Amino acid sequence: MKIAILPGDGIGTEIMAEAVKVLGVLDLKFETESALVGGVAYDAHGHPLPEGTLNLAKAADAVLFGAVGDWKYDKLERQFRPEQAILGLRKHLGLFANFRPAICYEQLTHASSLKPELVAGLDILIIRELTGDIYFGQPRGRRTAVDGHFPGAEEAFDTMRYSRPEIERIAHVAFQAARKRASGKGGQGGKVTSVDKANVLETFQFWKDVVTEVHKDYPDVTLEHMYVDNAAMQLVKAPKQLDVVVTGNMFGDILSDEAAMLTGSIGMLPSASLDKHNKGLYEPSHGSAPDIAGKGVANPLATILSSAMMLRYSLNQPEAADRIESAVKAVLSAGLRTGDIWSEGTQRVGTREMGDAVVAALSGKAITTTTKITKS
Ligand code: NAD
């Protein structure tokens, strides 16, 4: 097994160091190789996704990605901005299914903006299609744009489109994921909520029809359809009614961020983007956090949990993934918190101490830290 390690910018290097440390104590045989990506790659090679980095990602069995971006690159032409590296990797690796779990850890229920009883035990999975939709339909106006704006223009539009194969493959992924999750919990089938806007958009009536057809292959999985406006409301009203949510690129972009915030901190949330062979790119849901970069305070748990997803989905090591997730829960139960999830009575720790604590939990050692309990 070969893992490409792409730490990226900002807190990327700090959080990645902890994930690599955690992977290193698992007694698994794999090779890792690192490369530059994002702003640091642009600085060194003049491109956010240099050929060497792309080749490494292509040759690897999985890619573990930190984060990219910094305000200082905002003035660059779009194609050279750090965020283009993610789009380039998705395109060249054929990644079409984005998995964003939103899990509310019992120990962090108070960190959510919702009442604890609404989020306690929350465990949902949002699956976002990545290759179609309005983001890739024909835009109007881009050729006439000046610095990305349209001075004097009377209109601009983007077209929404989905092809049958695109909808079929993401629907299969969603039904299979629901089955897997249900069997992991000792249940059968599970539930898929397909989110659309079929009442207004032709593209999403087509989406709904194709998902319904694919569902015939999965009679054990419950399928429900929900309009996106209702889904946005249900996510904050009664999120625990959802299990697997599958939707298009734009609705998924928005709903997955909404779901993320139900759990309290973006510093806790992993994600995966998979191709049709389950090769994937794994990254925390957050960005490069330039405001706290270099301070040693970033929460590494989203990246560590992303490595667990990598072991489960791409490297076929579900037991190792379970071990990492249990170790993270043990560390939270021991009261350790980075600043983003800290609350009165818990112990504030830095990035490295949090990684060390996960390693200690995995190695069966006591979870300790030298940091004093922070009172305010
Ligand atoms: P961000 O996610 O980087 O930060 C938002 C807020 O959350 C900040 O206050 C930050 O300090 C905090 N935060 C984020 N991750 C944290 C962690 N692990 N621990 C503790 N606190 C954390 O979003 P932003 O500030 O809007 O964007 C910063 C840069 O990141 C931009 O250049 C943006 O384009 C880029 N970005 C990259 C990705 C990616 O690499 N996939 C995703 C989103 C944003």
CATH of the domain at 367: 3.40.718.10
pLDDT for 375 beyond 60: no
What is the predicted pLDDT for the residue at 140? 64
What is the predicted pLDDT for the residue at 102? 92
Q: What is the mean pLDDT of residues 195-222?
A: 97
360 and 268 co-located in one domain: no
291 and 159 co-located in one domain: no
> 100-109, 275-284, 329-338 — which is least confidently predicted?
100-109
What is the predicted pLDDT for the residue at 304? 98
Q: How many CA atoms lie within 13 A of 53 on its CB side?
A: 25
What is the predicted pLDDT for the residue at 110? 83
76 and 211 co-located in one domain: no
Highest mean pLDDT among 31-35, 158-162, 364-368: 31-35
Choose one of 211, 246, 274: the last residue of a domain: 274
| Pairwise CA distance, residues 267 & 298, whole Å | 8
Assess whether the C-beta atom of 190 lies below 6 angstroms from ligand 1. Answer: no
Question: pTM higher than 0.85 for the full model?
Answer: yes
118 and 263 co-located in one domain: yes
Closest CA to ligand 1's atom 38 = 287
- Computed over every residue of the chain, the mean pLDDT equals 91
Choose one of 254, 274, 294: the last residue of a domain: 274
Domain with 225, as residue range(s), is: 98-274
252 and 304 co-located in one domain: no
Number of domains in the chain: 2
What is the predicted pLDDT for the residue at 370? 56
pLDDT for 265 beyond 90: no
136 and 268 co-located in one domain: yes
> 62-66, 130-134, 140-144, 250-254 — which is least confidently predicted?
140-144
Q: What is the mean pLDDT of residues 265-290?
A: 93
229 and 295 co-located in one domain: no
Q: How far is the CA of 210 from the centre of ligand 1 (A)?
A: 35
pLDDT for 371 beyond 60: no
Q: What is the mean pLDDT of residues 93-117?
A: 91
Run of H or E including 117: helix 116-119
| Pairwise CA distance, residues 76 & 88, whole Å | 17
Assess whether the C-beta atom of 155 lies below 6 angstroms from ligand 1. Answer: no
What is the predicted pLDDT for the residue at 145? 65
Assess whether the C-beta atom of 18 lies below 6 angstroms from ligand 1. Answer: no
88 and 129 co-located in one domain: no
115 and 84 co-located in one domain: no
344 falls in which pLDDT band (50, 70, 90)? confident
Q: Which two tokens stand for residue 337?
A: 């918190």
Ligand 1, residue 291: give the atom nearest the CA.
11
119 and 215 co-located in one domain: yes
Hey, is 334 helix, strand or coil? coil
156 falls in which pLDDT band (50, 70, 90)? confident
Q: Which two tokens stand for residue 221?
A: 């999985």
| Pairwise CA distance, residues 193 & 253, whole Å | 16
193 and 253 co-located in one domain: yes
Q: Which residues are catalytic?
A: 135, 197, 229, 253, 257
**46, 47, 110, 306, 323 from 23: Cα distances, Å:** 31, 29, 30, 11, 11
17 and 143 co-located in one domain: no
Choose one of 274, 306, 336: the last residue of a domain: 274
